[in-house]
């Protein structure tokens, strides 16, 4: 297992398709950026979500989403999605997100998503042991850092 | 002003484009369905959101979104989005949503969105008087019903 | 089999999410409307595409898409997607589309999509007999009408 | 002006949101990838499309789209969009695209888009001189290379 990351940053370029007629990014696209953020956090942490689905039949189904929008994102801007794991249980994983505009580090949005471990057929299941141990270790490591 | 609706239902057919490789609707699409729900609630209540933007320079910018997913929506299903206004202030409007599968009335998701009244340039502004009076009346009427 | 339709119309309300910062519908959304058009044509003709996938393992994979944009579609407009089957072979089906603005019947776009019959695993396959006969009958009927 | 590029490659990671229940990328997303391709080609060539819209009121409105799908793209794959300018006139610009899977350089799709130069109000207009000269030079340079 790689050393535990406090968070992981990924940079996204805003697409024209993501804007709406207000001239800003349509709000639901932030949820898609969250997805990019957590997949890349997991990859950086040594997990390959694609394999989790195919090899372990472990799907992180979205159970809850929350997002606060502070400032709009605009076409062609470079956006940083900062993701961290904020909670983990036997069959639950919760990610937190901060979305920044790269140019001036302005905070555009904050949010979190809660995921339940499910099989392909939709049935809830515990995380496979190899993942569970690591998720719990990440959360423990992060709690310790906070406590310091 | 039309009599105040406790809620408004709109029916949506799930598009293939809205599904993902889990075989269910990708979660961010529920936020787009919420948009359809509140626009149709407003239309049923006598407001035309298109005109609000063009004629009154009043834009309902999304400030916060929350959604809980109880059961997946699937391709080609008919989906009911039940929308109500749950709060209104001088420059804030909050909608609540319940998403049902039409066939068996199963509750698939619940959520809410909070909106701030902004001008085209993004500056926060009070609702124009004609809207404000009605939004407040709706919320007052709904509170009374609840209290009964 | 139902009597052959020369074409089928379906009405769609433009969503805010479908607009872009030019203030018009982003062009790729017309392809999603085409999807709605052909699914509803098939339903009107007595086919249920959902069942074709599940019960017959017959998937209409998109092999080619073409679209010409004549005039923009705008937020909240009612849009008519007029769909017809323009060609059918053992394992190919081609649809043609005209997209109108309902209010003034202005033609906004024209296009076509070509589909190959595939199994879930992506392998090309002949249409199941029950579909093939009907697809060919539709095309034959339409050719006769044209010839008259 | 920078030396004329024969083509420009941009790499995109497939998002979960872009897949559909067939387990592959939904076909309309290739058009969004084309958008990413042409914007990055223009940036590499010294144009900033964002500025063209804001400073020059020059919008590249999509007039026609064509795409052939050879092989599916799948979740998490790295995709290369290879873009070139294939034609340019006073108020028309045409881009050609090839979409490859990075891992094995397999060609997944080919396509082209034709764009008309419009003002914000939608009226067709000639390209501003500074762009026109360069677009024509690019096409001329590419024709010469072909002829060699």
Query: Residue B1 above 60 pLDDT?
Result: no
Mind telling me how many Å the CA of A29 is from chain C's nearest CA? 10
Mind telling me how many Å the CA of B115 is from chain D's nearest CA? 25
Q: Give the range among A45-49, B103-107, D101-105, D130-134 with minimum mean pLDDT.
A: D130-134
Q: Give the range among C8-12, C15-19, C122-126, D20-24 with minimum mean pLDDT.
A: C122-126
Q: Give the range among A2-6, A113-117, D39-43 with minimum mean pLDDT.
A: A2-6
- Averaged confidence pLDDT in chain B: 92
So what's the pLDDT on residue A117?
Answer: 95
So what's the pLDDT on residue C100?
Answer: 98
CA gap D64, C25 in Å, rounded: 14
So what's the pLDDT on residue B3?
Answer: 65
Confidence of residue A2 (pLDDT cuts 50, 70, 90): low
Instruction: Please compute Rg for chain C using Cα positions.
Output: 16
Instruction: Please say whether the beta carbons of D63 and D94 come within 8 A.
Output: no
Confidence of residue D3 (pLDDT cuts 50, 70, 90): low
Distances (CA, A) of B59 to B49, D49, D98: 8, 26, 40
So what's the pLDDT on residue C75?
Answer: 98
- Averaged confidence pLDDT in chain D: 92
- Nearest CB among B32, B63, B66 relative to A69 is that of B63
B31 inside 8 A of chain D by CB = no
CA gap D83, D60 in Å, rounded: 16
B51 inside 8 A of chain C by CB = no
Question: What digits encode the pLDDT tens for the residues D64-85?
Answer: 999 999 999 999 999 999 999 9
So what's the pLDDT on residue D142?
Answer: 73
- Nearest CB among B23, B24, B28 relative to D17 is that of B28
ipTM > 0.85, yes or no: yes
Query: Residue B143 above 80 pLDDT?
Result: no
Query: Residue C85 above 90 pLDDT?
Result: yes
Question: What digits encode the pLDDT tens for the residues C47-67?
Answer: 899 999 999 999 999 999 999
So what's the pLDDT on residue D122?
Answer: 87
Mean pLDDT of D95-105: 98
Question: What digits encode the pLDDT tens for the residues B18-69?
Answer: 999 999 999 999 999 999 999 999 999 888 999 999 999 999 999 999 999 9
A28 inside 8 A of chain B by CB = yes
Three-state SS at D123: coil
- Tokens linked to B109: 């998701």
Question: What digits encode the pLDDT tens for the residues B66-96?
Answer: 999 999 999 999 999 999 999 999 999 999 9
CB within 8 Å: C31 and D31: yes
- Averaged confidence pLDDT in chain C: 92
Q: Which among B24, B48, B45 is positioned nearest to B99, based on CA atoms?
A: B24
Chains A and C: how many Cβ contacts under 8 Å? 28
> In which element (H, E) is residue A77 found?
none
Instruction: Please say whether the beta carbons of D49 and D60 come within 8 A.
Output: yes
Beta-carbon contacts of B144 under 8 Å, excluding residues fewer than 6 positions away, are: none
Beta-carbon contacts of C146 under 8 Å, excluding residues fewer than 6 positions away, are: none
Query: Residue A33 above 70 pLDDT?
Result: yes
Query: Residue A1 above 60 pLDDT?
Result: no
Confidence of residue B7 (pLDDT cuts 50, 70, 90): very high
Testing the interface with C: which of B16, B32, B33, B55 to mutate, by most C Cβ within 10 A?
B16
As a residue count, chain A comes to 148
So what's the pLDDT on residue B34?
Answer: 98
CA gap C95, D112 in Å, rounded: 20
Chains with at least 3 CB pairs less than 8 angstroms from chain B = A, C, D
So what's the pLDDT on residue D35?
Answer: 98
So what's the pLDDT on residue B66?
Answer: 98
D76 inside 8 A of chain B by CB = no
> Taking the CB of residue C97, how many other CB atoms lie within 10 A of it?
24
A66 inside 8 A of chain B by CB = yes
CB within 8 Å: B17 and D26: yes
Tell me, yes or no, if C20 is annotated catalytic. yes
Mean pLDDT of D116-144: 85
Ramachandran sector of residue A105 (left: φ over 0; alpha: ψ -120 to 50; beta: rest)? left
CB within 8 Å: B23 and D26: no
So what's the pLDDT on residue B50?
Answer: 94
CB within 8 Å: B76 and C15: no
Q: Taking CA atoms, what residue in B is nearest to D19?
A: B20
Query: Residue A47 above 70 pLDDT?
Result: yes
Percent of chain C residues past pLDDT 70, beyond the cut: 95
Chains with at least 3 CB pairs less than 8 angstroms from chain C = A, B, D
- Tokens linked to B7: 């809620």
Q: Could you say which DSSP state residue C19 is in?
A: B
CB within 8 Å: D28 and B17: yes
Residue with tokens 């009907």: C134
Mean pLDDT of D28-43: 97
Mean pLDDT of C22-38: 98
**Strands B59-69 and B8-13, how do they pair?**
unpaired
In B34-105, beta strands by DSSP E: 59-69, 78-88, 92-101
Q: Taking CA atoms, what residue in D is nearest to B20?
A: D20
CB within 8 Å: C65 and D65: yes
D17 inside 8 A of chain C by CB = no
CA gap D33, D78 in Å, rounded: 12
Testing the interface with B: which of D15, D20, D30 to mutate, by most B Cβ within 10 A?
D20
Q: Which residues in chain D are contacts of C124 at CB distance < 8 A? A: none
Lay out the sheet containing D78-88: strands in order across: C8-13, C78-88, C92-101, C106-118, C59-69, D59-69, D106-118, D92-101, D78-88, D8-13
Q: For residue C12, count CB atoms less than 10 angstroms from its CB and return exposed for 0-12, middle for 13-18, buried for 19 or more.
A: buried
Q: Give the range among C104-108, C111-115, C120-124 with minimum mean pLDDT.
A: C120-124
C110 inside 8 A of chain D by CB = no
Distances (CA, A) of A77 to A11, A18, A101, A108, B119: 10, 11, 7, 12, 22
> In which element (H, E) is residue D81 found?
strand D78-88
So what's the pLDDT on residue C136?
Answer: 81
Greater pLDDT, C71 or A122: C71
So what's the pLDDT on residue D87?
Answer: 93
Query: Residue D114 above 70 pLDDT?
Result: yes
Q: Taking CA atoms, what residue in C is nearest to B36?
A: C15
So what's the pLDDT on residue B136?
Answer: 81
> Taking the CB of residue D106, how many other CB atoms lie within 10 A of it?
12
Question: What digits encode the pLDDT tens for the residues A73-124?
Answer: 999 999 999 999 999 999 999 999 999 999 999 999 999 999 999 998 889 9
Q: Give the range among A54-58, A130-134, B143-147, C21-25 with minimum mean pLDDT.
A: B143-147
Residue with tokens 């609840």: B146
Mean pLDDT of D14-31: 97
CB within 8 Å: C17 and A28: yes
Three-state SS at B117: strand
Chains A and D: how many Cβ contacts under 8 Å? 26
Mean pLDDT of A26-53: 95
Confidence of residue A130 (pLDDT cuts 50, 70, 90): confident
């Amino acid at each position: 297992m790689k050393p535990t990351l406090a968070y992981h940053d990924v940079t996204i370029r805003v697409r024209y398709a993501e804007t709406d007629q207000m001239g800003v990014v349509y709000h639901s696209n932030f949820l898609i950026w969250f997805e990019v953020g957590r997949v890349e956090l997991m990859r950086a942490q040594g997990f390959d979500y694609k394999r989790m689905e195919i090899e372990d039949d472990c799907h992180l189904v979205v159970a809850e989403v929350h997002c606060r929008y502070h400032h709009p994102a605009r076409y062609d801007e470079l956006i940083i999605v900062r993701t961290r794991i904020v909670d983990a249980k036997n069959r639950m994983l919760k990610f937190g997100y901060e979305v920044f505009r790269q140019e001036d580090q302005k905070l555009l949005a904050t949010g979190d998503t809660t995921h339940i471990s499910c099989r392909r057929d939709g049935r809830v299941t515990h995380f496979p042991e190899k993942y569970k141990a690591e998720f719990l270790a990440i959360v423990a490591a992060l709690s310790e850092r906070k406590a310091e």
